[in-house]
Amino acid sequence: MAIRVTVWNEYLHEVELQEVADVYPKGIHGCIADFLKEAGMETRTATLREPEHGLSQEVLDQTDVLIWWGHMAHGEVEDEIVERVHKRILDGMGLIVLHSGHASKIFRKVCGTNSGYLKWREDGEKEILWVVDPGHPIVDGLDEKIVIPHEEMYGEHFNIPQPDELVFISWFEGGEVFRSGCCYHRGKGKVFYFRPGHEVFPIYHQPEIQKVIINAVKWAAPGNIPAVTYGNTQPVVEVKGEIKHTIGELHQQKQE
């Protein structure tokens, strides 16, 4: 069965700025959805100005992996939708956050920090993405580095929790470095932050970048997740201990 991917994008830069539309005539979401479809995945897109931002409960229930690109309108995303997405992540849906999505409400919620804090500079510098975990599934089939000729700089310190797995670090022409490929586990869901993707550069047309995202979707897709029971449960083997009163019974007796 094909992995079901929803690609979410604000879709504002492409509408308002011709130089962005020239790079992504179908929108960033359209570009990503197209190459994922070519890789054998079932894709759909959603954008900010659609009802419920295109992320109804029905859409999310039919999504294995959600890809998120946002930049200029993080604050317009309704908190109710963020909570809905977060719950689906905890239940097993994968999330891939791209580039300036680092400051989105959903990534800040996943991180538990203000992940919008970092250094940045729009100079179109060369970036080298170095693989720091060569055995990770996200880098399957890739070289030890990816060179991006022109990109927006992001620099440390990046205000995120320590990643569960760090896949890439970036070096920029101006001297900065950045944790550019960060994996997290939240509940039953997997989360991957991938830094490249400034809207005025053709980053998502680059084959190596496409390969990373394809691999990341496969990594983040839910598998056969076992059922988990929480709360007070019966023992799985015979318990020979002895207790005269439970805490609940003691409270009940005190109330009586």
Is 70 exceeded by the pLDDT of residue 250? no
Structural domain boundaries of the chain? 4-116+180-225
Q: Tens digits of per-residue pLDDT, 39-48?
A: 999 999 999 9
Q: Whole-structure pTM over 0.75, yes or no?
A: yes
Phi/psi of residue 120, nearest 5 degrees: -150, 160
Nearest Cα residue to 37 out of 222, 217, 200: 217
Per-residue pLDDT tens for 128-142?
999 999 999 999 999
Beta bridge partners of 14: none
Task: Express each pLDDT in 72-100 by its tens digit.
Answer: 999 999 999 999 999 999 999 999 999 99
4-116+180-225 topology per CATH: Rossmann fold (3.40.50)
pLDDT digits (tens, 9 = 90+) for 148-194: 999 999 999 999 999 999 999 999 999 999 999 999 999 999 999 99
pLDDT of 234 reads 86
Write down the pLDDT at residue 243. Answer: 73
Rounded to an integer, the average pLDDT of 26-39 is: 98
